[in-house]
């Protein structure tokens, strides 16, 4: 195994699938020869595979998503990149009314094997149009699968699984994890959807989080261990399908649950997870479920305000201490 960045792990997964299947191609704004993607994930792929298979597109998210749907239902396997997750709002009809519904509405006569990659989260001071975490929008849409890898190993394994999937997959990444390194196998591997990862075992409280919040939860767990508080950290890896069993088993063990995401609080995925635990593991809870989210405001541009907006280690630790 070699230690590589999250960015390079994604690129490896994309490259391997393009070598394996000529129907796989990449499309999006600035993904090709001139730029290699806004976050350099596709850098070098156009040189290797040519501009037919790594296609720069006009600045039109609706057109990108629509073309990807058309390509998918006619036998291709497009990987469409939307530069920032916030801008999927410009393609919501294509994603949520077309791609998500086609298999169901056509009675299973067609599949839509497309992957839509995009980036969520703050921390770069690029304001509200480029910093939100909107994964709950898509979790609410039947027909879409959702991958949320927080680590390089998972990014590679999940992108390969997503490309091979017969249904549309929303593949979401976080801006602040691209440079983080991890050991990643050079040989091929796939990670099944719907299998969460227990990142740290613990006995006193379960922390379930997504994206960069998983990394923060692990830091908090390390610090709280010095005070004798044992924190179990769960990384869902995919939101749809959702691994409820790993979550419920953990809650039954610890009796306490803290949910941490960068989403604004109202209607976040944390609300759905809290409801699931209330319905399926209420008798094992020894304290109320705690949610740590961003406030219900647009993401501020101001670095100081953005730092306040995004949940930090102290807020996570305070929530854990409150119920332990």
Give the active site residue among 129, 130, 174, 215.
130
Nearest CA to 136 among 235, 260, 263, 247? 263
Task: Give the span between the Cα atoms of 233 and 54, in whole angstroms.
Answer: 38
Beta strands in the chain (DSSP E): 2-5, 24-28, 54-56, 77-81, 115-120, 145-147, 169-174, 181-184, 197-200, 205-209, 231-235, 238-240, 257-264, 290-294
Element (H, E) at 70: helix 61-73
CA 4 to chain centre: 19
Question: Which residues have CB under 8 Å from 249's CB, separation 6+?
Answer: none
Q: Is 215 a catalytic residue?
A: no
Question: Is the omega angle on the peptide bond into residue 241 within 30 degrees of 0, that is, cis?
Answer: yes
Positions marked catalytic: 130
């Amino acid at each position: 195994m070699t230690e590589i960045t999250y960015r390079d792990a994604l690129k490896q997964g994309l490259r391997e699938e393009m070598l394996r299947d000529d129907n796989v191609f990449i499309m999006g704004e600035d993904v090709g020869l001139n730029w290699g993607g806004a976050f350099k994930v596709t850098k070098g792929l156009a040189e290797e595979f040519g501009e037919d298979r790594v296609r720069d597109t006009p600045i039109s998210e609706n057109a990108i998503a629509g073309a990807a749907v058309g390509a998918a239902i006619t036998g291709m396997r497009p990987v469409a990149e939307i530069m920032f997750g916030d801008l999927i709002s410009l393609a919501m009809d294509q994603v949520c009314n077309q791609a998500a519904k086609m298999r169901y509405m056509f009675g299973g006569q067609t599949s839509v094997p497309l992957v839509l990659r995009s980036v969520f989260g703050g921390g770069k001071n690029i304001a509200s149009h480029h910093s939100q975490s909107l994964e709950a929008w898509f979790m609410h849409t039947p027909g879409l699968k959702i991958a949320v890898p927080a680590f390089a190993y998972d990014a590679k394994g999940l992108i390969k699984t997503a490309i091979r999937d017969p249904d549309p997959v929303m593949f979401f990444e976080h801006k602040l994890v691209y440079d983080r390194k991890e050991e990643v196998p050079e040989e091929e591997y796939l990670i099944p959807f719907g299998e969460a990862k227990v990142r740290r075992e613990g006995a006193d409280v379960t922390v379930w989080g997504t994206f960069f919040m998983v990394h923060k939860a692990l830091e908090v767990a390390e610090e709280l261990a010095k005070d004798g508080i044992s924190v179990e950290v769960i990384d869902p890896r995919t939101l749809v399908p959702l691994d409820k069993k790993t979550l419920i088993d953990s809650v039954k063990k610890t009796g306490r649950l803290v949910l941490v995401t960068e989403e604004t609080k109202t209607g976040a995925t944390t609300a759905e997870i809290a409801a699931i635990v209330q319905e399926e593991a209420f008798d094992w809870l020894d304290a109320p479920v705690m949610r740590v989210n961003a406030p219900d405001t647009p993401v501020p541009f101001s670095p100081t305000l953005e730092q306040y907006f995004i949940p930090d280690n102290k807020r996570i630790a305070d929530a854990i201490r409150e119920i332990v």
